[in-house]
Structure 1
Amino acid sequence: MQSTLTLSEIAEPYAQALMSVAQSNNLTDAFGEDTKALQALLAESEDLKFLVTSPIIDSEKKKAVIRQILGEQIHPYMLNFLLLLVDRGRIMLLPQVCEQYQSLLRQLKQTVLAEVTSAVELTPEQQEAIKQKVMSTVQASQVELATRVDPDLLGGVIIKVGSQVFDASLRGQLRRIGIRLGAPA
């Protein structure tokens, strides 16, 4: 089995080609929405994920299912791109291609991705406050949030931007207090 790094390396030229088509046709945001929708669809549907990743299923059947499911929902250029991935035997890289495209889009828009883990679901006001704090901290023009709920945090948030981690969780504070007191956290 190939490593994730290798799959990402193989997916990168496809994502760059998709970005090139998007830029030349002024469709970067439309393709961004399409790739997000594809990522969500693959995460929700185990059957679709199996269809995309299975080497056993015939490519013509894959193309027929992709046309049937996505035909009217995504831009025709994106549909053609997916069919090209099937023809080249690279459709199993679709999750990585979508992820790489999102990364390229963030670079283009000078946007940073902030992965936020909280103990409870964040309100829109809290999300906006986190965006503003991250923008001022890392000098970004825009911030995209990827939120996740982890009840084990007890309270607060953990924000990850690139390799930086800002731990403002209750669990993190208790761990730091335990270290200061010399007790295991």
Structure 2
Amino acid sequence: MKGNTMIAQVVEPYAGALMTLAQETNKVEAFAENCRALLSLFQESAEFRSFVMNPLVKAEDKKGVLQGVCGQDVDTYFLNFLFLLVDRRRIVFLEGICQEFVALQRKLNNIVLADVTSAQPLTTDQEAAIADQVKQMTGANAVELNISTDADLIGGVVIKVGSKVFDASLRGQLRRISMDLLGSN
């Protein structure tokens, strides 16, 4: 727990500073897309993650890789922010900073993140219906779906928004029936 507090003490101020910069330059959405791209890269490439996290890699090498990964279209302010993280030896917190920035962007735009787990892959129409339902339930302007599949659900979906869980899965229904039957004895 202490480690998480220490990480938060680094991540939150840097993410907040990046948000302030993004708002002052009217580039919140662009910075959010840059952060999402970096988060995706962290997920997809163990090599990138270990390179960024490695304290033995020279700062100039890290800057070169970051510039190459971000490409020429990346905003100069965003790239300079990444370079600042390298110079201050805070680049190891990049993933957390990006996650926090995206969370701040969602909050700013009243966007809700919904984790959706289904027994089978969802169709585009089903995803849209779930997004509409979550939007109605939460009053959000928009909904981002984080979709995964779990065959153990048997059928249906489980939707998690913040701390609320909506279990419309067959497994959940069977569990509730079982609890009712056991409770009535």
Q: Percent identical across equivalent pairs?
A: 46
1:84 aligns to what?
Answer: 84
- Aligned: 1:127 with 2:127: yes
SS where residue 84 of structure 1 aligns?
helix
- Aligned: 1:11 with 2:11: yes
1:47–1:73 Cα change, 3 Å: farther
Q: Residues 128-143 of structure 1: matches in 2 within 5 Å?
A: 128-143=128-143
| Cα distance in 2, alignment partners of residues 142 and 36 from structure 1 | 17
SS where residue 3 of structure 1 aligns?
helix
SS where residue 147 of structure 1 aligns?
strand
TM-score, scaled relative to structure 1:
0.92
Provide structure 2 residue ranges, at least 5 long, that are not aligned to the other structure.
none
SS where residue 36 of structure 2 aligns?
helix
The range that moved more, 28-37 or 5-14, is: 5-14
Q: Deviation digits for residues 149-185 of structure 1, max 9, x if unmatched?
A: 12221111111111101011111111111111118xx
Q: Residues 27-42 of structure 1: matches in 2 within 5 Å?
A: 27-42=27-42
SS where residue 182 of structure 1 aligns?
helix
| Cα distance in 1, alignment partners of residues 94 and 142 from structure 2 | 26
SS where residue 72 of structure 1 aligns?
coil
1:163 aligns to what?
Answer: 163
The range that moved more, 86-95 or 174-183, is: 174-183
1:177 aligns to what?
Answer: 177
1:6–1:159 Cα change, 3 Å: farther
1:23 aligns to what?
Answer: 23
> How far apart are 1:2 and its partner, in Å?
6.5
| Cα distance in 2, alignment partners of residues 15 and 31 from structure 1 | 11
| Cα distance in 1, alignment partners of residues 121 and 4 from structure 2 | 30
Please tell me the root mean square deviation across aligned C-alpha atoms, in Å: 1.7
Over 6 Å off, 4+ runs: none
- Aligned: 1:94 with 2:94: yes
SS where residue 147 of structure 2 aligns?
strand
Q: Deviation digits for residues 94-151 of structure 1, max 9, x if unmatched?
A: 1111110011001110111111111122111111111111111122222111111122
2:54 aligns to what?
Answer: 54
TM-score, scaled relative to structure 2:
0.92
SS where residue 140 of structure 2 aligns?
coil
> How far apart are 1:74 and its partner, in Å?
2.5
| Cα distance in 2, alignment partners of residues 3 and 64 from structure 1 | 30
2:151 aligns to what?
Answer: 151
| Cα distance in 1, alignment partners of residues 8 and 127 from structure 2 | 30
SS where residue 121 of structure 2 aligns?
coil
Provide structure 1 residue ranges, at least 5 long, that are not aligned to the other structure.
none
Q: Does the 8 Å CA contact 1:117/1:149 hold for their aligned counterparts?
A: yes
